[in-house]
């Protein structure tokens, strides 16, 4: 977990920009761990510790240590590819040919079928500048409403619940450093030990300081093993569990009546809903014994301060927004929100999942986290963009709905930084829809499974080869600095959008320089919920690069002065939200009444087992990048099916034997991993791999009615012994 100047795999085509250490950030998860890059002794670059950065304090997981391996020309794209009309194969092409072909197809489709026949799909790993430019390109150049991004699959349910309750969504409304100083943490559906290893230290320090940890997970993960109390509910029942805890809080007289009266609204409805979920009823639904429910309430309420942290477990459900809302209600009813060292937070997953949705690549939002349906927001952003507000399209389809529409009324797709062939639910169907497109263009670092289907593939720069900002799970805006030069045949995503915009009649408004893009983003975000106007590159370069928390308004708007420059006192940023009031019209947090409901697909005689999915330590998301790193593949070479010994014995399946997992949508085959650390009615598969072990061939695309999040975390399956192909 700790980097001590360990050399990473050499990046053979990269040229160090300088021999000094470049302070930057890991390209993977939303911790955005600080690291240093310096010239390696054998060429290329190596990772060195950056102990001064407060989030990880020098610690890095294996993915971060080996990140420079992706800079090698052996594993990444170094020239554009176009699909030959003669052979049907992808062949090398010039940038001019590739961009001309994309622009020509986009133009043709718009003329023949209308602007909404052009789709755009982005990624939660894109920098703020790229996300902003991509959203602007879709709405100004193409005029399409059909844009969304894979961050919809990450934490959209938590975002929707946070908006409903607090009037504002930011992954963590407090910095990570507050976690060890609280009294109790309920961690729901997160395996930090494998998904964000450097963050596990905060939970370790919590317990060292006398605090308690409760982990909610159907598996006894490495994280759950650290807990004082592990609750293992049946997948899809987190909502009932939270309601049961709130019922006990009320029944035992543990509500904070003063906080409820002074700082909230809607309590009576939420209270009534919770009282319909008495402990014995909740035990029957979840499988969590009543004594454990009582222990959880005691630990949470006896502490002077407490937190609830959720991740994909409760969020990636067709009722994810209500599920997170129930956990928020628990915090509000006990006065564990809007106070120091207390509150609800979401552990954002993707590298820029937070910033990626704040600045316009989400179907219903404009930069600054503004609503696309708000006339004032449209007018403000349109003025920055120099267009008529009426020319901006309205909200489009959510991510899965957009993918499902491909080949229908959406004829062509420009995709940046995503691999839905592996990562989307009902993946075989999504792959079929991608194949049915008139035209698919993909910009990526590697030839992913999705890029292999494209008509044009553009090789773009990656984290160490470009400068840009990202926003981590705390809402901390950071500057990732360019450390090496990209191969000659590679261009930045901003360069791609500039070239396409110029070919489509927009020669201005799409600069290639990320700092210029950020300056425009600052103006577009000014006055919005996610206000970045008081943040500048100059300010982010200063000091030790700890970043600035949004919201951070410009203290002298329109002055032309740089925040922090001579004569201007910069806004300090906002590390802790809601301490003086919530972001609602009346400053009160809102209880939202919710009730438990079943998953979209329950077990039956034909499909008697529940499947849940997740990640492993050595791989990341769809695996498009990490599966190209030898060290990581050695640690996690392929998919597996985790199942309980009792379930395995009943089916006659031995450890290591090939097992087929079958749902109503598809079939996946992988070796069995028999372990008592999972419920006997549940199986687990990691989702990083394509092919016969693709877990998302099985998952359900049922959508949350508010967030439009698919139900990745629970579906009905059956198991069969199988021969692996």
pLDDT band at 15 (very low <50, low <70, confident <90, very high): very low
Q: How much is the pLDDT for 14?
A: 41
> 560 pLDDT band (50/70/90 cuts)?
low
Residue 242: pLDDT band (50, 70, 90) is very high
198-224: pLDDT as tens digits: 999 999 999 999 999 999 999 999 999
Q: What's the mean pLDDT in 546-550?
A: 96
Query: pLDDT value at position 6?
Result: 29
Question: Residue 542's pLDDT band (boundaries 50, 70, 90)?
Answer: confident
Closest by CA to 683, choosing from 268, 380, 317, 234, is 234
* Tokens 């991993």 -> residue: 673
Whether the CB-CB separation of 433 and 403 falls below 8 Å is answered with yes
Structure-token pair, residue 631: 């060290």
- What is the pLDDT at residue 640? 98
- Non-local CB neighbours of 648 within 8 Å, separated by 6+ positions: 654, 655, 672, 674
User: Which residues 6+ apart lie within 8 Å of 225 measured at CB?
Assistant: none
Q: What does the pLDDT read at residue 561?
A: 57
Q: What is the pLDDT of residue 4?
A: 29
3-state secondary structure of 588: coil
Among left, alpha and beta (phi > 0; psi -120 to 50; other), residue 660 is beta
Orientation of helix 493-503 relative to helix 95-113, angle to 10°: 50
Distances (CA, A) of 37 to 49, 338, 465: 9, 39, 11
In this structure, what token pair is assigned to residue 440? 């698919």
Q: How far apart are CA 219 and CA 679, in angstroms?
A: 7
Distance CA 323, CA 315 (A): 7
* pLDDT single digits (tens) 630-647: 999 999 999 999 999 999
Domains of the chain, first to last? 15-71 (2.20.25.90), 81-153+352-525 (3.40.50.740), 156-347 (3.40.228.10), 609-721 (2.40.40.20)
Cα–Cα distance between 325 and 351 in angstroms, integer?
A: 24
Mean of pLDDT values over 90-113: 98
Q: Quick check: 17 pLDDT over 80?
A: no
CA 408/CA 403 separation, integer angstroms? 10
C-alpha 297/C-alpha 642 separation (Å) is 31
Average pLDDT, the chain: 94
The answer to whether 168 and 507 are in contact (CB under 8 A) is no
C-beta separation of 703 from 635 below 8 A: no
With contact defined as beta carbons under 8 Å apart, do 352 and 126 qualify? yes
- Which pLDDT belongs to residue 9? 32
Stated pTM of the model: 0.94
Rounded Cα distance between 420 and 709, Å, is: 14
Q: With contact defined as beta carbons under 8 Å apart, do 464 and 483 qualify?
A: yes
| Alpha helix segments (H runs only) across 510-591 | 514-525, 537-541
Does residue 2 have a pLDDT over 70?
no
For the chain, what's the residue count?
A: 725
Determine contact, residues 66/27, Cβ cutoff 8 Å. no
Q: 13 is written with which tokens?
A: 């085509």
Separation CA 43–CA 440 (nearest Å) = 36
In tens, the pLDDT along 591-631 reads 999 999 999 999 999 999 999 999 999 999 999 999 999 99
User: Please, what is the end-to-end C-alpha distance for the chain in angstroms?
Assistant: 36
Provide mean pLDDT across the span 378-387. 98
Q: Give the rounded percent of residues in the chain with a pLDDT score beyond 70.
A: 95
Assign 564 a pLDDT band (cuts: 50, 70, 90): low
Closest among 322, 281, 333 to 597, alpha carbons compared: 322
Three-state DSSP string of 65-80: HCHHHHHCCCCCCCCC
């Amino acid at each position: 977990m700790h980097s001590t100047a360990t050399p990473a795999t050499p990046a053979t085509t990269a040229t160090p920009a300088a021999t000094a250490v470049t302070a930057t950030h890991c390209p993977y998860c939303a911790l955005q761990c600080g690291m240093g890059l310096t010239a390696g002794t054998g060429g290329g670059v190596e990772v060195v510790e950056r102990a001064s950065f407060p989030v990880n304090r020098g610690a890095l997981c294996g993915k971060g240590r080996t990140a420079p391996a992706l800079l090698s020309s052996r594993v990444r794209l170094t020239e554009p590819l176009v699909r030959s009309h003669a052979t049907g194969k992808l062949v090398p092409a010039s940038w001019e040919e590739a961009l001309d072909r994309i622009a020509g197809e986009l133009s043709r489709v718009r003329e023949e079928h209308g602007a909404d026949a052009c789709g755009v799909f982005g990624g939660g790993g894109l920098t703020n500048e790229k996300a902003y430019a991509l959203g602007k390109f879709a709405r100004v150049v193409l005029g399409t409403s059909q844009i969304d991004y894979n961050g919809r699959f990450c934490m959209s349910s938590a975002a929707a619940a946070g908006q409903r309750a607090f009037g504002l969504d930011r992954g963590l409304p407090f910095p990570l450093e507050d976690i060890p100083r609280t009294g109790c943490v309920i961690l729901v559906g997160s395996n930090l030990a494998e998904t964000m290893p450097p963050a596990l230290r905060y939970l370790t320090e919590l317990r060292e300081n006398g605090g308690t940890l409760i982990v909610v997970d159907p598996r006894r993960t490495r994280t759950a093993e650290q807990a004082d109390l592990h609750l293992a509910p049946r997948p899809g029942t987190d909502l009932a569990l939270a309601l049961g805890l709130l019922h006990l809080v009320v029944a035992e007289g543990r509500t904070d009546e003063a906080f409820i009266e002074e700082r909230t609204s809607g309590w009576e409805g939420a209270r009534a809903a919770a009282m319909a979920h008495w402990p014995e009823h909740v035990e029957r639904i979840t499988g969590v014994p009543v004594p454990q429910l009582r222990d959880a309430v005691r630990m949470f309420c006896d502490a002077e301060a407490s937190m609830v942290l959720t991740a994909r477990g409760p969020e990636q459900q067709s009722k994810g927004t209500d599920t997170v809302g129930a956990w928020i209600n628990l915090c509000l009813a006990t006065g564990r929100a809007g106070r120091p060292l207390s509150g609800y937070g979401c552990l954002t997953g993707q590298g820029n999942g937070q910033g990626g949705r704040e600045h316009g690549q989400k179907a219903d939002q404009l930069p600054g986290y503004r609503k696309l349906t708000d006339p004032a927001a449209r007018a403000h952003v349109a003025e920055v963009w120099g267009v008529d507000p009426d020319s901006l399209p309205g909200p489009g389809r959510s991510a899965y709905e957009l993918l499902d529409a491909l080949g229908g009324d959406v004829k062509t797709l420009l995709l940046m930084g995503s691999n839905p062939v592996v990562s989307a639910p009902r993946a075989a169907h999504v792959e079929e829809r991608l194949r049915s497109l008139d035209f698919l263009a993909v910009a990526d670092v590697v030839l992913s499974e999705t890029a292999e289907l494209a008509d044009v593939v553009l090789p773009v720069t990656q984290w160490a080869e470009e400068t840009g900002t990202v926003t981590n799970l705390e809402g901390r805006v950071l500057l990732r600095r360019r450390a090496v030069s990209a191969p000659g045949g590679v261009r930045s995503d901003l360069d791609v959008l500039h070239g396409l915009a110029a070919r489509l009649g927009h020669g201005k408004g799409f600069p290639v320089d990320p700092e210029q893009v950020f300056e425009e983003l600052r103006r577009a975000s000014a006055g919005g919920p996610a206000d970045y106007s008081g943040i500048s590159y100059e300010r982010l370069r200063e000091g030790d690069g700890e970043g600035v928390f949004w919201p951070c308004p410009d203290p002298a708007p329109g002055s032309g002065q740089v925040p922090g420059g001579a004569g201007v006192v910069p806004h300090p940023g906002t590390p802790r939200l809601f301490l003086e009031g919530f972001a609602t019209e009346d400053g009160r947090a809102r209880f939202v009444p919710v009730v438990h409901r079943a998953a979209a697909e329950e077990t039956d005689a034909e499909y008697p087992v529940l499947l849940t999915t997740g990640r492993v330590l050595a791989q990341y998301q769809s695996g498009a990048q990490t599966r190209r790193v030898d060290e990581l593949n050695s640690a996690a070479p392929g998919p597996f099916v985790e199942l309980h010994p009792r379930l395995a014995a009943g089916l006659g399946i031995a450890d290591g034997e090939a097992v087929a997992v079958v749902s109503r949508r598809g079939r996946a085959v992988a070796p069995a991993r028999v372990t008592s650390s999972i419920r006997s009615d549940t199986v687990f598969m990691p989702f990083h791999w394509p092919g016969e072990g693709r877990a998302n061939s099985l998952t359900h695309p049922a959508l949350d009615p508010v967030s439009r999040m698919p139900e990745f975390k629970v579906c009905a399956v059956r198991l069969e012994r199988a021969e692996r192909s």
